[in-house]
Structure 1
């Protein structure tokens, strides 16, 4: 059996002992923490798909062969059977999953191998398309969405989620991973400190630890910090996860932390209830919005220097920030006129 993070153990030539066994458990926990649960689940799915494909072709998946990997990638891009062709982004993700899985099994796969790189470059050249971007939720949209929520505990919670997620330009996983204090729970992804002028969120984001400052709004109705305080006060949450489940009737707070899928479902439900893009069929309307619509909305609406938006979103480059800006002045810097034309 391969020594993956889930079953790693002492080398055969080292005798087990209590202290070493405890260190094995600690090392295993750290290895699991090297990637998110979602990433590990995706890598597991990638490996199952590849091994099924290998069985169907009558070949062994290990040791990894660059020629075999090239054939697999080509079949994903242009399948010979009735299976749908995968996008370039999904194919690249599948390759990352194979690299990770092969490494865990002591059979490293070099994705920069000339054959693999050439096949992947050809797939990109022939099949790459501009990324499909979700619509941004703009200020009027977010106001219409929170207006559809009630004032029971569930409504207070969901209002705080939408406003905090929007003003903080947070990923949905970052929203639900927040705790009241530092080190409240082992699975926390950050915590909140509330001040007179706003709140500071300390987040263990995908790019590392960062702080996000969320200032108070112009009115209690639209203020994300007030909405957060309102939820914490009425839900009597003083410790642990900030955003937890509620009973079906929305009147009781439960202990379990919300899943990030709740944020996605909440956004889509409020989009429909608020009548956003009512000119389109329901299926198309739902496809336009996702959790990233909150981040794109803040990036597109904040009338401040782009550097502040970049820092707020935690991007390492301005180019990445611009991908989130759905309505920016693309010609504010006019190089044509600057060149004398």
Structure 2
């Protein structure tokens, strides 16, 4: 038998109260750097939304005459009532504002809201929604973005010009469709996030700025060169002459046609998608989310497995949102529509 190694003497664990000033300074610097990195990973529209959520909460607290840090069960329920009944906000907006307030309180004031208090506020919100549905009130909010189907996508990219604006818009639309991108995800892409597959199969797109978990989408060459996202991307990179891996993949363009160093905002991405649809005279008013819903819808229509679709969209396989995309297609399928094949 091998001779056992002598046991090492147990080392005393140093407690935080015993840290010296030099260690505290290094840990503080690490905290600051990690906070900055976390902020950089957050989509710009999420940052702006949280800022707006906090502004709403501040206004509400002033009216209620309580400190902004007083996030209790009572104040949170009152906040929900205020948003739902008096400001007539959509369900998703109220739910997000609760999240935005919680995030800001935790990050800026070190105040952590009791989970039971947050749950009670959300339960009240669900009660309001159930009552609204029972009373058959009109749906609030903008509703789902219309899906940009492949036939519409073909018409749209065909109307993108051959100038630098058209080259960028074509690449953005096709790549956005291929990775089922939210507008913030397209705006957040850096050049380093889009790389060629080593075996020449297409592109590997690393979606790092996302409201959900990061994902990597393998984008193959398209069978139709006119709608191939890989070819469109390569054309844009060549024409724009962008090489800095840390700068945005899609850039602002000056009226003179000069490609700018700065990227475009999520709102601008949505505007470009909407304008491209209007330019092609598509009757449907597409929005920044339309390429995402369009990809999921078309993939399901092609009988792709929901798990395969979820890997591209970043949804959980049992996601209610993803299931909603499925229903758009499945409602006419003989296996899912009880009226098909019964002899009518």
TM-score range, shorter chain: 0.7 to 0.9
Residue 159 of structure 1 is matched in structure 2 by 170
Q: Does 1:228 align with 2:233?
A: yes
Would you tell me which structure has more helix in proportion to its own residues?
2
Partner SS, residue 78 of structure 1 = helix
With structure 1 as the length reference, what TM-score do the two structures score?
0.78
Residue 303 of structure 2 is matched in structure 1 by 304
Of 246, 252, 267, which residue of structure 1 is paired with 2:273?
A: 267
Offset, 1:115: 4.8
Of 151, 160, 181, which residue of structure 2 is paired with 1:170?
A: 181
Offset, 1:262: 2.5
Residue 196 of structure 2 is matched in structure 1 by 193
Residue 147 of structure 1 is matched in structure 2 by 158
Moved more, 53-62 or 256-265: 53-62
TM-superposition CA deviations, 1:194-226 (whole Å, max 9, x none): 553322212224332322121212232221111
Q: Does 1:86 align with 2:97?
A: no
Pair 1:272–1:316, CA change in 2 (3 A)? same
Offset, 1:122: 2.0
TM-superposition CA deviations, 1:263-315 (whole Å, max 9, x none): 211111111111111xxxxxxx54xx212110111122231322322222222
Give the conservation status (yes or no) of the 8 Å contact 1:99–1:110.
no
Distance in 2, Cα, partners of 1:147 & 1:133: 26
Partner SS, residue 94 of structure 1 = helix
TM-superposition CA deviations, 1:30-88 (whole Å, max 9, x none): 45357444323322322222222222233333332312222221121111xxxx41111
Pair 1:14–1:309, CA change in 2 (3 A)? same
Pair 1:29–1:269, CA change in 2 (3 A)? same
Aligned residues: 306
Of 42, 49, 61, which residue of structure 1 is paired with 2:56?
A: 49
Pair 1:197–1:27, CA change in 2 (3 A)? closer
Partner SS, residue 201 of structure 1 = strand
Partner SS, residue 274 of structure 2 = helix
With structure 2 as the length reference, what TM-score do the two structures score?
0.77
Of 77, 81, 92, which residue of structure 1 is paired with 2:84?
A: 77
Give the conservation status (yes or no) of the 8 Å contact 1:156–1:230.
yes
After TM superposition, the runs of 4+ consecutive aligned structure 1 residues lying more than 4 A away are: 13-18, 128-131, 334-337
Give the conservation status (yes or no) of the 8 Å contact 2:252–2:263.
yes
Partner SS, residue 116 of structure 2 = coil
Residue 100 of structure 2 is matched in structure 1 by 97
Distance in 1, Cα, partners of 2:330 & 2:89: 34
Partner SS, residue 192 of structure 1 = strand
Residue 184 of structure 1 is matched in structure 2 by none
Offset, 1:151: 0.8
Give the conservation status (yes or no) of the 8 Å contact 2:45–2:184.
no
Give the conservation status (yes or no) of the 8 Å contact 1:210–1:314.
yes
CA RMSD of aligned residues (A): 3.0
Residue 7 of structure 1 is matched in structure 2 by none
Pair 1:14–1:41, CA change in 2 (3 A)? farther
Give the conservation status (yes or no) of the 8 Å contact 1:135–1:293.
yes
Residue 244 of structure 1 is matched in structure 2 by 251
Q: Which runs of 5+ in 1 are unaligned?
A: 1-9, 182-189, 278-284
Pair 1:174–1:65, CA change in 2 (3 A)? closer
